[in-house]
Amino acid sequence: MSRILVILLGLLLGLAGCDGGSYTKNGLQWSYDGTPFTPADLKTFRSLDKHFARDAKRGYYRGSTIDGSDGASFEALSDHEARDLQTVYYCDTYRKGQDYWAIPYVRVTPIRDAHAPTYRVLGFGYARDRSRAYEDGVGFTVRDAASFEPLGSQFARDSERGYFARAEIPGSHGPTFSLIDAGYARDRVSAYHGHIETDTPNRGPYPVVRTLRGADTEALRVLGRGYAADAAHVWYRGAPVLHADAVSFAVVDDVTSDIDANDRTGSWKQGRKAAASTR
């Protein structure tokens, strides 16, 4: 079997098993996803869901002991989060290239400074406690943790501000902050576009939020492919599309085309004037 085929097979096996797994018992032997393991206290061991389990001594994730956990108070909160009286744990798996990404390895990380008694899972990977918000086990500062709520996978709000990718949006109005689509949001003051920039040389991915200056927030409509418009303006990823005609501006549905939008003045590509369409 060629190396490429082995890698592809490993990837397929990994994808097929991403959300699987369960605890089973055969006689006195417990297994997770077919792999035997020995609980610290066999008599009190029980599964909590498809990934987490506990006994009188310890908590478990995918059949692996969570070191230092208190089994008596251990409880599952989500597919990735669990807690005991003192600690909140973020649990996931990772894979290694030398195994052709076929074998999942367990990773358990105590969430730094999380307050276990008040930690609450909110959805979209977010959570909060008495003083902070969290995304995928990473804490970040918000104005009012008690009112913090996710609006989607990236945008969120509390009683004072809107947020994108864990960062506060300066000047935003939390009480009226709402999602338009995955990339655009608005409040009573303005409208915003957020995305994760991945194309900057020598820099890893980072969040970018742009305010749509001069936007009529009530008339704003998302056109697709990164574009939005009101009656007088067009934006691409939150940046103004200069000299575009808002009334006639429309996106091109064909993703194989050399352009992504048209208006009465011509063709556009990623917010810039493009050569004439070759339709």
CA angle 183, 189, 190 (to 5 degrees): 30
* Pair (207, 225) in one structural domain: no
Structure confidence at residue 153 (pLDDT): 97
Q: Which domain holds residue 235?
A: 221-274
Give yes or no for a contact between 25 and 54, defined as CB atoms under 8 angstroms apart: no
User: DSSP assignment, residue 77?
Assistant: -
Residue 116 lies in a domain: no
Percent of the chain with pLDDT over 70: 91
* Pair (100, 61) in one structural domain: yes
**Which residue bears the tokens 């020598």?**
202
Domain tally, the chain: 3
Please choose, from the candidates 193, 160, 159, the residue with its C-alpha nearest in 3D space to the C-alpha of residue 179.
Answer: 193
Listed in sequence order, the DSSP H helices in the chain are 3-16
Structure confidence at residue 20 (pLDDT): 58
Out of 211, 232, 266, a domain closes at 211
Residue 139 lies in a domain: yes
Out of 166, 186, 211, a domain closes at 211
- For residue 14, pLDDT over 50 is answered with no
* Pair (196, 159) in one structural domain: yes
Instruction: State pTM to two decimals.
Output: 0.88
Residue 43 tokens, joined:
């008599």
> pLDDT-based confidence at 10, cuts 50/70/90?
very low
Residue 115 lies in a domain: no
- For residue 145, pLDDT over 70 is answered with yes
